[in-house]
């Protein structure tokens, strides 16, 4: 028997077996899984009535809201492709994504009305606009018939919602849909979701994920993360980022509870953990670092937390240790990319190794990039494609082979061919691997510092800096040097009230690093630039050092 794979099955399963359970919490709004499923059915129906055809792209510009979580199923049920957009991108990049994807509908939170109004006139085509949580207007009522152009409907219906000033209200749109329309057939190999990379080099590229990839990733990730219906996840990771780490699908599949966090603030996060009994947190290192250094931590009951997963950037053993000691959780590192749906490895300790290795080795392993989850083959290879020595020393690139790897970069065949070669996806992440198969990312290929012919991992230096008691956060980038070509520079943010000098920081590094790895200088900042997930933007830090140089090493 052949049954097409689709994540819509996850929603239907939740509605069947957990229908009366509160499945989604967003501020003061709560929905049972039955109510949540009905809203996604109505969204699908309303989009069809709005003129959305199979394969059309539907974009969302919003925070982590229940509406975006509904889109993860409603848009797909309509046969369309969901395109959540990074709200931290520049207006020009967002306009580029809307044009490049050819979005036919753009739903946006009312807070982003100025942004949408700014870019709308520059779009090559005119999508239908839908506003969430905006002020109701008479012109915002949803159309009751399919809008297929002026030839098939009145001019008024065709134009309604074609500009931000006449955007259709989201709740009115849902009210126009039905919850009992028969579902359309699903092609498991059709693109279901489209995530654009942040565009740190060149324009953003759209990562196309199929129904099949998302379904298999949901199964693999739920098993690998050991999630159950007893778990409560706080959506700290933006749902526009790397498929929300897959949480909209694997959490729904097991019948766990979704709690939405619209804007990150350590106090708000800790309050929601206490209020809703959150058991599982996933976030980047800078987010966890902010939580650990928040005075609110001592005032909140976080005993419900059982496990945290650190991803999005390399972590340090010091952070893993601090999370376990301060939060009373098991802390692990996970790894993945937009192009892999995303989870491909988790740094789970293995019992047979715990039985024979020193206790401190456990924390060291949990801070590595980890080993492949079921369904994924992961290797670390040389430029010639040969496996590196499994000694934890030889540097190579992580390559991945799996059903969860992207279909390709949307409308970018050359970029796709450059990334997927000989049946393996090349991540661009440079790592080592040990005899037990634990990989450890040392850097992105573009962030490796080549000084006097020596390859220096910025992550190694950052891990050393993480052990300095007075440092809140730090990043290491390459700066030009006449003698060595380039050298490492540490950019540091101190904890409030801490006084430390560059000499203090450098002395600390000399005790922990080989001489050629010690930063040549230290610069102090009030804060570090971050992207939509809280990940430090090294490109922005690096740029001032190289300004005016015609030839750059990177």
The predicted structure's pLDDT at residue 241: 85
pLDDT under 70: residue ranges of the chain? 136-160, 198-202, 453, 550-554
Neighbours of 275 (CB within 10 A): 13
Same domain, 189 and 52: yes
pLDDT of residue 146: 41
Query: What CATH number has the domain bearing residue 42?
Result: 3.40.50.12780
Q: For residues 79 and 184, what is the distance between their CA atoms, to the nearest angstrom?
A: 7
Give the CA distances from residue 303 to residues 179, 280, 286, in Å, rounded to whole numbers and listed in that order.
39, 11, 22
> Does residue 426 sit in the same domain as residue 465?
no
Residue 462 lies in a domain: yes
Residue 258 domain flag? no
Rounded to whole angstroms, the Cα distance separating 234 from 219 reads 20
Q: Containing H/E element for 100?
A: helix 91-101
Within 10 A of 550 (CB to CB), how many other CB atoms are there?
5
Residues 292 and 329 placed together within one structural domain of the fold: yes
| Distance between CA atoms of residues 309 and 244, nearest Å | 13
What is the Cα–Cα distance from 83 to 211, expressed in whole angstroms? Answer: 14
pLDDT for position 184: 83
Give the chain's domain count. 3
Q: Are residues 440 and 453 in the same domain?
A: no
Is residue 28 domain-resident? no
Per the CB < 8 A criterion, the answer to whether 442 and 395 are in contact is yes
Residue 202 located in a structural domain? yes
CATH number of the structural domain spanning residue 495: 3.30.300.30
pLDDT in tens, 286-299: 899 999 999 999 99
pLDDT at 431: 95
| H helical segments located in 109-241 | 113-119, 155-159, 170-175, 211-225
392 and 490 part of one domain: no
Same domain, 296 and 200: no
Q: Which residues pair with 521 in a beta bridge?
A: 489
Closest CA to 366 of 336, 331, 342: 331
Query: Do strands 424-433 and 396-402 pair parallel, antiparallel, or not at all (unpaired)?
Result: antiparallel
Residue showing tokens 């969302």: 60
The answer to whether the beta carbons of residues 260 and 233 sit under 8 Å apart is no
**40 & 164 share domain:** yes
Let me know if residue 531 belongs to a domain. Answer: yes
How many CB atoms within 10 Å of residue 510? 13
> What per-residue confidence (pLDDT) applies to 183?
83
Q: Which string of DSSP letters, residue by residue, matches 35-99?
A: HHHHHHHHHHHHHHHTT--TT-EEEEE-SS-HHHHHHHHHHHHTT-EEEE--TTS-HHHHHHHHH
In a domain, 130, yes or no: yes
First-to-last alpha carbon distance for the chain, in angstroms, is 52
- Asked whether the beta carbons of 554 and 446 are under 8 A apart, the reply is yes
Cβ burial 246-257 (10 Å sphere, 16+ → b, else e): bbbbbbbbbbbb
Q: What are the structure tokens assigned to 415, written together?
A: 């970029």
- Does residue 46 sit in the same domain as residue 124? yes
Taking alpha carbons only, the member of 119, 115, 107 closest to residue 50 is 107
pLDDT at 158: 40
Same domain assignment for residues 452 and 438:
no
Is residue 173 assigned to a domain? yes
Which residue, among 97, 383, 63, 393, has the nearest Cα to 237 in the 3D structure? 63
Residue among 74, 55, 77 at smallest CA distance from 6: 77
**Structural domain boundaries, residue 204:** 36-209
Give the whole-angstrom CA distance, residue 344 versus residue 339: 10
Burial class (CB in 10 A: 0-12, 13-18, 19+), 185: exposed
In 277-409, alpha helices (H): 285-292, 317-327, 351-354, 360-366
Q: Which residues contact 435 (CB under 8 A, 6 or more apart)?
A: 390, 391, 392
127 and 179 share one domain: yes
The distance from CA 149 to its chain's CA centroid, rounded to whole angstroms, is: 36
Tokens 């369309």 belong to 80
215: three-class secondary structure by DSSP: helix
Q: Which two tokens stand for residue 282?
A: 């996933």
pLDDT of residue 85: 96
- Total residue count of the chain as it appears in this document: 554
Do 42 and 172 reside in the same domain of the chain?
Answer: yes
Q: Do 105 and 90 belong to one domain?
A: yes
What does the alpha-carbon distance between residue 445 and residue 428 come to, in Å, rounded to a whole number?
5
Cα dist. 477→72, 232, 440, 486, 540 in Å? 37, 37, 19, 10, 10
CB neighbourhood size of 233 (10 A): 23
pLDDT at position 89, please? 87
Contact 276, 302 (CB under 8 A): no
What confidence score (pLDDT) does residue 453 get?
Answer: 67
Any domain includes 93: yes
């Amino acid at each position: 028997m052949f049954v097409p794979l689709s994540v819509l099955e996850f929603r239907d399963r939740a509605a069947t077996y957990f229908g009366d359970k509160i499945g989604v919490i967003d501020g003061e709004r709560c929905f049972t899984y039955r109510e949540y499923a009905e809203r996604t059915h109505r969204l699908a129906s309303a989009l069809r009535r709005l003129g959305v055809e199979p394969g059309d792209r539907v974009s969302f510009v919003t925070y982590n809201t229940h509406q975006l979580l509904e889109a993860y199923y409603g848009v797909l049920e309509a046969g369309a492709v969901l395109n959540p957009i990074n709200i931290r991108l520049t207006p020009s990049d967002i306009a580029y994504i809307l044009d490049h994807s050819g979005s036919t509908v753009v739903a946006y939170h009312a807070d982003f009305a100025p942004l949408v109004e700014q870019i709308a006139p520059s779009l090559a085509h005119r999508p239908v606009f839908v506003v969430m949580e905006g002020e109701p207007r008479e012109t915002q009522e949803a159309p009751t018939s399919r809008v297929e152009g002026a030839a098939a409907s009145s001019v008024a219906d065709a134009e309604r919602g074609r500009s931000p000033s006449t955007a259709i209200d989201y709740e009115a749109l849902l009210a126009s849909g039905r919850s009992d329309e028969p579902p359309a057939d699903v092609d498991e190999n059709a693109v279901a979701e489209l995530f654009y990379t942040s565009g740190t080099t060149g324009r953003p590229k759209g990562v196309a994920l199929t129904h099949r990839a998302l379904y298999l990733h949901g199964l693999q990730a739920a098993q690998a993360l050991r999630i159950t219906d007893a778990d409560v996840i706080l959506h700290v990771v933006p749902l526009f980022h790397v498929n929300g780490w897959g949480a909209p699908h694997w959490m729904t599949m097991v019948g766990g509870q979704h709690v939405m966090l619209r804007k990150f603030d350590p106090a708000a996060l800790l309050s929601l953990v206490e209020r809703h009994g959150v058991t599982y947190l996933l976030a980047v290192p800078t987010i966890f670092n902010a939580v650990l250094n928040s005075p609110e931590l001592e005032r909140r009951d976080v005993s419900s937390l059982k496990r945290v997963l650190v991803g999005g950037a390399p972590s340090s053993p010091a952070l893993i240790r601090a999370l376990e000691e301060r939060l009373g959780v098991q802390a692990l590192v996970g790894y993945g990319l937009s192009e892999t749906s995303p989870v491909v490895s988790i740094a789970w300790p293995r019992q047979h190794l715990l039985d024979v290795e020193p206790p401190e080795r456990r924390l060291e392993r949990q801070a590595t990039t980890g080993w492949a989850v079921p369904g994924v083959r992961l290797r670390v290879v040389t430029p010639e494609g040969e496996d590196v020595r499994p000694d934890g020393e030889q540097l190579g690139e992580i390559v991945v082979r799996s059903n969860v790897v992207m279909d390709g970069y949307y409308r970018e065949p050359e970029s796709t061919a450059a990334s997927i070669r000989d049946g393996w996806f090349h991540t661009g992440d440079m790592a080592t691997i040990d005899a037990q198969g634990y990989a450890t990312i040392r850097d992105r290929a573009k962030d490796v510092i080549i000084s006097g012919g020596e390859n220096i991992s910025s992550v190694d230096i950052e891990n050393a800096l993480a052990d300095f008691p007075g440092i809140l956060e730090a990043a290491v980038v390459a700066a030009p040097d006449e003698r060595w070509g380039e050298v490492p520079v540490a950019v540091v943010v101190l904890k409030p009230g801490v006084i430390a000098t560059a000499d203090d920081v450098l002395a600390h590094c000399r005790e922990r690093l080989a001489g050629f790895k010690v930063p040549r200088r230290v610069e102090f900042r009030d804060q570090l630039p971050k992207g939509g997930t809280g990940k430090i933007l090294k490109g922005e830090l690096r740029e001032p050092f190289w300004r005016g140089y015609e030839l750059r090493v990177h």
